[in-house]
């Protein structure tokens, strides 16, 4: 809400400058976003009168004007506005003037004719297009006679540009300041001043309003308060300039006196009003009801709506006249021919207004106020105020009596509070008398009542109903800066991370040690990305109204996000990237489930070099085993008892069918490591990329290794090498397994140190070589003991794989 | 006399050859040649048996002297030559120590994680537990328990990704507080918690908006918690994150789950409060929202507001990181450009 300080000063004494008010209000009540001085940066703009007007000799659309600006000589100014005419009082930018956008006006020539300045349109002196009256939209501004503009004087005061405007950023609870009166109360409380308001005085004719019109509210829930008046003999014309400038300074476009008065009173009281052309009603009725399904309405901005049964409308007997509390209809709107006006002041159901305004994307000054609440105790007065202004400014005749369709209680409400409790909550020692003084500054009544205090809150502060609300009022006026700074005292609590959080943190820390940068990617992805890299049957979860298809489904994997990150890097010539992410995936195991599980995963993705070329070594490109090694390191450091194994899989579509392994811990799949399928990588635009993903929640549940101290062996280990030729299809895991089976209890380490296929080896066969380490903790191993196991190993390898021992 | 001369000659020749030796091998040859079993000294000593009783001890002493001298000379020559050899090797092995070392890259902690860890550690030190909760939430916990019933206008402040009418992507981490508060046994002491995590809003991504970002919300509930305690706690937080000279300022605000509610500004860390672009020339930067827990929130969780009360606050690690490091596009956090990530080597 924009607050004109000139206008505000009519209601309350302002002891400080607008800038100071803004600063103080920001820390006391409502944040002031901006302090606007419309004339700032502009200069040498004066009122001028066009004394002579000639066609430009060389241009059809230009005129040459001789303009009186209060100087000895007339200024010759070339003007292209279509509405320029003799004797008009206009805005003249003198030579050396500054207009909007810091543009400087200089003498110049237009098609050979000298021009000593410029006649200005409102846009050119900084007015927003949306507030400029229609008649001046496409031409220069012409001062109306009631402006009493004096030739040669600055235009600022006539146009309201000498004002300073405070832009209040109003929180939803403080809609009471969506009117000048509410704001005056607020500012007055801040400065301990008393605001003063005049009650509207009206003269009514003898014609009873009820003879002209009936109002009916079908359900009080729709409009708890609904009142109307009829004003006859109205002359529709532009409203006086003083009103117009208040409107445009508030961001509202002047239209005609009737409409302007409804808007003006809305700004005064925060109570939206609507005016109907009485003669356009099909019946002498205003009925507040719900719309029928598919009822048609054209609003006054020309839009057509197909209404639903949830919308509140104002209707006559035949059809909807307007969307209640949002926008009137085109049919009954005020026109230049209107002579009898129906003025409506109602309070409509905030939830329905909000939903309807949202549904039709039709947020108006009125709907905003009804959504947030209006002062029900001011409705009747606001209606009289509008009638008074129609009498004064449109020569209207007010008929006898307000029509009341519905009304709610307008008495103040009482909140009982305990000053002691207020101090307890605030951590202060504010005296009861001081609290009372603060509340009275706000215009609240206070009755002391033993150790309690009854606060009488007027309806204009409908945000206040409980003690906590009163505490807020007390502390904000008292001053947050005067609150002491303390820390909670009381029973000791022990802070910290729980074991689950520690486990996740450990996994993240290990990944960084392994050289991966931590990434945080989006959890909402497109459908393809979200379901990629899954190896068992899970279902996706979709959000209802995604902003874009890119962020529509909850991820089932972390790899897609990481691949997007790799791509982003590679596209920027960062070709060697190792990233990890630790976050949740959201699988549903049942297609009918509404809510997905949330599972903590860890994933890594690496592309390009894992070691750069340097002055000693050439670069090393990422491959499956580099990343598998990282996974092995990581799993070892996570310190679980479970036996870890790797099983080839070709079931993950996005991964290389020959270079992917499921990772098993105690026979349970906990993740995978694999090379991204070359086809998939190519489609994305990635070079060789290796990824892994682990289900941390699953791994966390496995039993930890108990760390028991074993002394370092005192006796020497015995080392033996064995080389064998086996068919290519025999896996390392199978050989290792066989060796372990036959190796006996002293076999402590099996280390593969060579694989060879090619020359000297039969086609389809490979030579593999292992180093075996035997160790007895208790004694020195004898050759005989070792040989015995070594022979058994040879034998089993021959038996199981037909191995040729070399 | 014959023998004496032989010994003296041996002595002289030996010392001379040892002196001239340039190789350890040569020394070894000299040792064998002079002191070996078939060497002249041994030979000479064998000739002692032919000497008279009188001469024998004299010659014996002389022979021992010669042997000792030669051995000493050999030893010192060996040391000299070894030292030379070492020097030579060291000379040969000299490298350019300014050549770059071989690197093992260490990964960096995401800047958001750094900011979150920093704040979490502060509150852990103050005795707060860290509680996580679901990112896919019930409307009930995300809104209704937080005093935001279905048609509350303040729901418009947060555009929400709904999955069904009742299930949504959490828009704040306060549902974690609602869940914890509901379960908390106050007979075991006060509740002091922070809830960090990802939140989601139905927003179009641009420089200042992200449909996914992070929050840390805090909650303290006990019998004697005051707004002054809130102020002190926030002051500590602001100084911990933005520097110990920082002042804070509380301004009235509105959140449905707190009353009174405040916005918290910190004195501008870029200009110290004089006014600059960071603080939009106000000297203050808005950093978080807070307030005293609304009685309805307590009642909703089954806690008696007549007995218990406390404060809550919420802050955005994304915004903190942007302010702290002058990052001007929130999307940078989620693009994971390594040139961005690796700038933040703090941890």
- The helix or strand, by DSSP H or E, that contains position B29, with its residue range, turns out to be helix B24-35
User: Is B65 inside a domain boundary?
Assistant: yes
Cross-strand partners of A215:
A286
Indicate whether B39 and B180 sit together in one domain. Answer: no
* Closest residue in chain A to residue B189, using alpha carbons only: A491
pLDDT of residue A198: 94
Which of A397-406, A708-717, B313-322 bottoms out in mean pLDDT, i.e. has the lowest? A708-717
Kindly tell me the burial class for residue B59, based on how many C-beta atoms sit within 10 Å of its own C-beta (0-12, 13-18, 19 or more).
Answer: buried
Q: Is A603 helix (H, G, I), strand (E, B) or coil?
A: strand
Contact A4, A453 (CB under 8 A): no
- In whole angstroms, give the CA distance from residue A252 to residue A244: 9
Indicate whether B129 and B21 sit together in one domain. Answer: no
User: Which residues in chain A are contacts of B336 at CB distance < 8 A?
Assistant: 517, 519-521, 565, 568-569, 579
- First CA to last CA distance, chain A: 91
User: Which residues in chain A are contacts of B136 at CB distance < 8 A?
Assistant: 541, 554, 586, 595-596, 598
Owning domain of residue B61? 2-92
Contacts of B318 (CB under 8 A, 6+ apart): B112, B210, B213, B214, B330, B333
Give me the percent of chain A exceeding a pLDDT of 70. 100
Which of 172-231 (B) contact A at CB < 8 A?
Answer: 189-190, 192, 198, 200, 202-204, 211-212, 220, 222-229, 231
Residue labelled with tokens 């007549």: B306
Give the torsion sign (CA, B33, B35, B38, B43).
Answer: positive
User: Is B46 inside a domain boundary?
Assistant: yes
Measured at the CA of B121, the angle between CA B115 and CA B126, to 5 degrees, comes to: 135
User: Is B100 inside a domain boundary?
Assistant: no
Indicate whether B179 and B322 sit together in one domain. Answer: yes
Q: Is A342 helix (H, G, I), strand (E, B) or coil?
A: strand
pLDDT digits (tens, 9 = 90+) for A426-458: 999 999 999 999 999 999 999 999 999 999 999
- Say yes or no to pLDDT of B62 above 90: no
pLDDT of residue A497: 96
pLDDT of residue B157: 61
Q: Which domains does chain A have, with CATH numbers?
A: 2-37+163-191 (3.30.56.10), 43-147 (2.40.50.140), 204-406 (3.50.40.10), 413-482 (3.30.56.10), 499-701 (3.30.930.10), 718-805 (3.30.70.380)
Indicate whether B17 and B67 sit together in one domain. Answer: yes
pLDDT of residue B158: 65
The minimum CA-CA distance between B88 and chain A, rounded to whole Å, is 25
User: Which residues in chain B are contacts of A370 at CB distance < 8 A?
Assistant: none
CA A794: distance to chain centroid? 71
| CATH number for the domain that contains residue B287 | 3.30.930.10
pLDDT digits (tens, 9 = 90+) for A312-336: 999 999 999 999 999 999 999 999 9
Contacts of B332 (CB under 8 A, 6+ apart): B340
Q: How many CB atoms lie within 10 A of CB A454?
A: 13
Tokens of B206: 């641009």
pLDDT digits (tens, 9 = 90+) for A772-782: 999 998 889 88
Indicate whether B193 and B116 sit together in one domain. Answer: yes
- Say yes or no to pLDDT of B51 above 80: no
Beta carbons of A595 and B224 less than 8 Å apart: no
User: In this complex, is the C-beta atom of B104 within 8 Å of any C-beta atom belonging to chain A?
Assistant: yes
User: Which residues in chain B are contacts of A517 at CB distance < 8 A?
Assistant: 107-108, 110, 336, 338, 341-342
b/e per residue A485-517 (b: at least 16 CB within 10 A): ebebeeeebebeeeeebebbeebbebbbebbbb
Pairing outcome for strands B136-138 and B167-169:
antiparallel
Contacts of B263 (CB under 8 A, 6+ apart): A31, B250, B251, B252, B253, B286, B288, B289
Indicate whether B132 and B86 sit together in one domain. Answer: no
Mutate one of A176, A495, A503 to test the B interface: name it (highest B CB count within 10 A): A495
Beta carbons of A354 and B123 less than 8 Å apart: no
Mutate one of B147, B253, B260 to test the A interface: name it (highest A CB count within 10 A): B260
- In whole angstroms, give the CA distance from residue B240 to residue A208: 71
Indicate whether B81 and B125 sit together in one domain. Answer: no
Which of A194-203, A324-333, B40-49, B311-320 bottoms out in mean pLDDT, i.e. has the lowest? B40-49
Indicate whether B85 and B123 sit together in one domain. Answer: no
User: Is B346 inside a domain boundary?
Assistant: no
User: Is B299 inside a domain boundary?
Assistant: yes
When pLDDT is averaged across residues B184-190 and rounded to a whole number, the result is: 94
Half-sphere exposure of B270 (CA within 13 A, CB side): 17
The minimum CA-CA distance between A171 and chain B, rounded to whole Å, is 6
The minimum CA-CA distance between B219 and chain A, rounded to whole Å, is 12
Of A28, A172, A466, the CB nearest to B295: A466
User: Is B102 inside a domain boundary?
Assistant: no
User: In this complex, is the C-beta atom of B97 within 8 Å of any C-beta atom belonging to chain A?
Assistant: no
Indicate whether B170 and B305 sit together in one domain. Answer: yes
Give me the percent of chain A exceeding a pLDDT of 90. 91
Indicate whether B121 and B32 sit together in one domain. Answer: no
Contact B239, B246 (CB under 8 A): yes
User: Is B9 inside a domain boundary?
Assistant: yes
Indicate whether B218 and B314 sit together in one domain. Answer: yes
| Domains of chain B: total | 2
Contacts of A485 (CB under 8 A, 6+ apart): B228, B231, B232, B235
Question: What single-letter DSSP state applies at residue B138?
Answer: E
Give the torsion sign (CA, B292, B296, B300, B302).
Answer: positive
User: Which residues in chain A are contacts of B141 at CB distance < 8 A?
Assistant: none
Give me the percent of chain B exceeding a pLDDT of 90. 62
When pLDDT is averaged across residues B174-197 and rounded to a whole number, the result is: 95
pTM over 0.80: yes
Q: What is the mean pLDDT of chain A?
A: 94
Beta carbons of A501 and B130 less than 8 Å apart: yes
Cross-strand partners of A720:
A772
pLDDT digits (tens, 9 = 90+) for B63-105: 888 888 888 988 999 999 899 889 999 999 999 999 998 888 8
pLDDT of residue A319: 92
Residue B36 confidence class, pLDDT cut points 50, 70, 90: confident
User: Is B99 inside a domain boundary?
Assistant: no
Indicate whether B75 and B155 sit together in one domain. Answer: no
């Amino acid at each position: 809400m924009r607050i004109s300080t000139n206008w505000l000063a009519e209601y309350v004494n302002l002891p400080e400058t607008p800038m100071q008010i803004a600063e103080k209000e920001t820390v006391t009540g409502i944040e002031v976003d901006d302090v606007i001085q419309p004339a700032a940066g502009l200069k040498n703009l004066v009122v001028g009168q066009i004394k002579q007007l000639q066609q430009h000799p060389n241009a059809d659309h230009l005129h040459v004007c001789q303009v009186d600006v209060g100087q000895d000589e007339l200024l010759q100014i070339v003007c292209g506005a279509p509405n320029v005419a003799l004797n008009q009082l206009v805005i003249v930018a003198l030579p050396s003037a500054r207009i909007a956008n810091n543009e400087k006006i200089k003498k110049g020539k237009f098609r050979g004719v000298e021009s000593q300045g410029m006649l200005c349109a409102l846009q050119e002196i900084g007015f927003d297009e949306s507030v400029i009256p229609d008649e001046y939209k496409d031409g220069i501004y012409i001062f109306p006679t009631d402006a009493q503009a004096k030739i040669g004087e600055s235009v600022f005061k006539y146009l309201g540009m000498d004002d300073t405007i405070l832009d209040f950023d109003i929180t939803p609870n403080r809609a009471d300041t969506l009117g000048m009166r509410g704001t005056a109360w607020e500012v007055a409380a801040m400065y301990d001043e008393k605001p003063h308001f005049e009650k509207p005085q009206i003269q009514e004719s003898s014609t009873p309003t009820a003879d002209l019109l009936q109002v009916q509210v079908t359900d009080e829930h729709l409009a708890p308060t609904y009142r109307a008046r009829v004003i006859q003999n109205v002359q529709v014309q532009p409203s006086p300039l003083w009103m117009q400038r208040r409107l445009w300074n508030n961001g509202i476009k002047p239209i005609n006196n009737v409409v302007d008065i409804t808007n003006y009173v809305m700004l005064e009281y925060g109570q939206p009003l609507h005016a109907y052309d009485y003669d356009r009603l099909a019946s002498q009725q205003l009925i507040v009801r719900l719309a029928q399904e598919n009822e048609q309405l054209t609003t006054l901005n020309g839009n057509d709506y197909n209404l639903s049964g949830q919308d509140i409308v104002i209707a006559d007997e035949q059809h909807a006249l307007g969307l209640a509390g949002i926008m009137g209809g085109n049919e009954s709107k005020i026109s230049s021919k209107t002579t009898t006006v129906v003025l409506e002041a109602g309070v409509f159901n905030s939830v329905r207004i909000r939903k309807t305004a949202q549904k039709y994307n039709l947020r108006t000054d009125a709907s905003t106020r009804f959504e947030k609440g209006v002062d029900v105790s001011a409705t009747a007065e606001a209606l009289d105020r509008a009638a008074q202004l129609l009498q004064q400014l449109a020569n209207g005749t007010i008929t006898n009596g307000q029509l009341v369709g519905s009304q709610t209680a307008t008495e103040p409400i009482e909140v009982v509070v305990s000053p002691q409790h207020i101090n307890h909550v605030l951590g202060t020692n504010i005296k009861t008398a001081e609290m009372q003084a603060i509340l009275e500054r706000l215009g609240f009544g206070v009755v002391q009542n033993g150790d309690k205090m009854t606060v009488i809150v007027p309806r204009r502060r409908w945000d206040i109903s409980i003690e906590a609300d009163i505490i807020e009022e007390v502390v904000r006026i008292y001053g947050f800066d005067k609150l002491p700074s303390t820390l909670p005292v009381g029973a000791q609590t022990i802070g910290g991370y729980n074991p689950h959080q520690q486990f996740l943190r450990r996994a993240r820390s290990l990944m960084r040690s392994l050289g991966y940068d931590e990434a945080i990617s989006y959890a909402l992805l497109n459908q393809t990305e979200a379901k990629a890299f899954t190896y068992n049957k899970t279902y996706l979860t979709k959000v209802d109204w995604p902003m874009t298809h890119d962020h529509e489904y909850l991820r089932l994997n972390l790899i897609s996000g990481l691949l997007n990150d790799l791509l982003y890097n590679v596209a920027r010539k960062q070709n060697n990237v190792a990233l990890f992410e630790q976050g949740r995936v959201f699988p549903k195991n049942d297609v009918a489930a509404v809510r997905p599980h949330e599972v903590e995963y860890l994933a890594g993705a690496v592309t390009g070099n894992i070691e750069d070329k340097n002055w000693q070594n050439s670069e090393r490109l990422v491959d499956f085993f580099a990343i598998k090694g990282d996974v092995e390191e990581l799993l070892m450091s996570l310190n679980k008892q479970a036996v870890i194994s790797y099983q080839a899989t070709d079931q993950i579509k996005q991964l290389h069918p020959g270079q992917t392994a499921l990772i098993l811990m105690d026979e349970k799949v906990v993740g995978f490591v694999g090379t991204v399928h070359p086809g998939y990588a190519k489609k994305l635009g990635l070079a060789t990329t290796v990824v892994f993903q682990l289900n941390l929640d699953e791994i966390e549940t496995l039993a930890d290794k108990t760390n028991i101290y074993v002394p370092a062996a005192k006796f020497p280990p015995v080392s033996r090498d064995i080389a064998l030729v086996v068919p290519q299809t025999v896996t390392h895991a199978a050989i290792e397994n066989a060796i372990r089976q036959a190796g006996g209890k002293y076999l402590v380490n099996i280390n593969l140190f060579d694989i060879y296929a090619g020359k000297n080896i039969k086609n389809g066969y490979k030579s593999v070589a292992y180093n075996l380490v035997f160790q007895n903790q208790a004694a020195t191993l004898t050759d005989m003991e070792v040989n015995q196991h070594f022979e058994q190993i040879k034998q089993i390898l021959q038996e199981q794989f037909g191995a040729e021992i070399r | 006399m014959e023998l004496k001369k032989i010994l003296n000659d041996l002595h002289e020749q030996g010392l001379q050859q040892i002196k001239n030796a340039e190789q350890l091998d040569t020394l070894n040859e000299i040792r064998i040649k002079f002191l070996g079993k078939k060497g002249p000294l041994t030979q000479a000593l064998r000739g002692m048996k032919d000497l008279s009783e009188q001469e024998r001890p004299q010659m014996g002493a002389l022979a021992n002297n010669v042997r000792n001298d030669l051995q000493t000379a050999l030893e010192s020559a060996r040391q000299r030559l070894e030292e030379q050899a070492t020097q030579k090797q060291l000379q040969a092995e000299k490298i350019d120590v300014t050549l770059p070392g071989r690197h093992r890259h260490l990964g960096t902690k995401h800047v958001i994680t750094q900011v979150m860890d920093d704040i979490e550690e502060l509150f852990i030190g103050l005795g707060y537990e860290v509680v996580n909760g679901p990112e896919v939430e019930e409307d009930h916990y995300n809104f209704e328990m937080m005093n935001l019933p279905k048609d509350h206008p303040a729901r418009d402040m947060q555009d929400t990704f709904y999955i069904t009418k009742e299930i949504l992507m959490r828009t704040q981490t306060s549902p974690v507080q609602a869940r914890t508060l509901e379960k908390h046994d106050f007979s075991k002491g006060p509740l002091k918690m922070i809830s960090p995590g990802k939140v989601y809003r139905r927003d179009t991504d641009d420089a200042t908006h992200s449909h996914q970002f992070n929050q840390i919300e805090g909650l303290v509930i006990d019998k004697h918690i005051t707004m002054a305690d809130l102020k002190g706690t926030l002051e500590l937080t602001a100084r911990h994150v933005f520097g110990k000279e920082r002042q804070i300022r509380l301004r009235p605000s509105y959140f449905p789950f707190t009353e009174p509610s405040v916005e918290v500004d910190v004195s501008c860390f870029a200009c110290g409060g004089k006014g600059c672009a960071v603080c939009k020339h106000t000297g203050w930067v808005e950093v978080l929202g807070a307030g005293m827990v609304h009685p309805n929130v307590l009642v909703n969780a089954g806690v008696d507001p007549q007995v218990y009360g406390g404060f809550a606050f919420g802050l955005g690690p994304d915004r903190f990181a942007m302010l702290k490091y002058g990052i001007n596009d929130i999307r940078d956090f989620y693009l994971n450009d390594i040139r961005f990530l690796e700038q933040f080597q703090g941890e």
